[in-house]
Amino acid sequence: MKDNVQVTIVGSSNVDITALMNRLPGPGETVLADSYQLSPGGKGANQALAAALAGAHTEFIGAVGNDSHAQVALAQLEEAGVDLARVATVSEPTGVAIIQVDAAAENSIAVVSGANSTVTAEAVSAAGELHGILVLQGEIPASGITTAMDLATDRVVLNLAPVIELDREYLLKADPLVVNEHEAALILQQLDRSESVSTESEPVIAEKLMAHGLSSVLITLGANGCLVAQRHGEQHSLEQLPAVKVKAVDTTGAGDAFTGAVAARLAQGDSLVQAAEFAGKFAALTVQAHGAQASYPRSLENL
């Protein structure tokens, strides 16, 4: 039944509760907000939606609470045809991000992991076989990530955001590791077992990550595109792909759109460079509209 799944995402799903206000409250202070909205988020769910919209048969494995937020968290995935049969309903609440945004677009965010914290080694092994390309992020417990990697039947796309501690042998299973420039420096620090975070240029960081033995690395650089590093035997290559020039209005969820699209295209037989080129175009569409999942293109006509 699962034979046609091309991309499996094991990860987080959240509801973002965003309140818009003139200025952020200080400690102990109450301010009146102008409005609020509920929107689906969580890096796992965002990436699952992107993979599905980029044309891959996609399964999402995660957990939500037995509450009304669960429906909000999963609605877009359901509409896009993502297989949700192995999303667990647990006693913890659906994960939420409580976001306050002021008139200058400055924000403060509190994330409650809730149900996402139950996506542990036990939960992932209980879910059973994983199909197709596996995509993982840093918003579930490390034990869930490493167990999923142990069960992977195809290449693993690891977007370790936020950066959490993972054993070296698991970091090196990523193919590709997909990270922005800040995350790349933090992961290099882990692999180097260094006291300080590298301040070197992104190409140098990419080279050093590859020197640790990674098979491939994509470092996203916002409006500057991305770096693609990949191994060819003892050697590795490094090239920079430019971003599509667009007028960005909101880059929320752009990195997730990029990662999901890369996985979808790898699953459809693209090379890493081809997949990253497509993902750059896909992500560029998303930065021209507001929101995360709401900004993802529902049609591939303009790509």
Catalytic residues: 256
Q: How far is the CB of 235 from ligand ADP (least distance, A)?
A: 25
**Cβ at position 262, least distance to ligand ADP in Å:** 10
Nearer to ligand ADP, 116 or 137 (CB): 137
The residue (of 176 and 255) whose beta carbon lies closer to ligand ADP is: 255
- Identify which of residues 65 and 260 has a Cβ nearer to ligand ADP in the complex: 260
Whichever of 258 and 296 has its CB closer to ligand ADP, that residue is 258
Taking the complex as a whole, the smallest distance from the CB of residue 181 to ligand ADP amounts, in Å, to 7
Task: Kindly tell me which of 94 and 293 has the beta carbon lying closer to ligand ADP.
Answer: 293
Q: How far is the CB of 226 from ligand ADP (least distance, A)?
A: 4
Please state the closest distance from residue 30 (CB atom) to ligand ADP, in A: 31
What HEC string does the chain produce?
Answer: CCCCCCEEEECCCEEEEEEECCCCCCCCCCCCCCEEEEEEECHHHHHHHHHHHCCCCEEEECEEECCHHHHHHHHHHHHCCCECCCCEEECCCCEEEEEEECCCCCEEEEEECHHHHHCCHHHHHHHCCCCCEEEEECCCCHHHHHHHHHHCCCCEEEECCCCCCCCHHHHCCEEEEEEEHHHHHHHHHHHHCCCCCCCCCHHHHHHHHHHCCCCEEEEECHHHCEEEEEEECCEEEEEEECCCCCCCCCCCCHHHHHHHHHHHHHHCCCCHHHHHHHHHHHHHHHCCCCCCHHHCCCCCCCC
Residues at the interface with ligand ADP (CB under 6 A): 180, 220-223, 225-226, 243-244, 246, 248, 251, 254-255, 258, 280, 283-284, 287
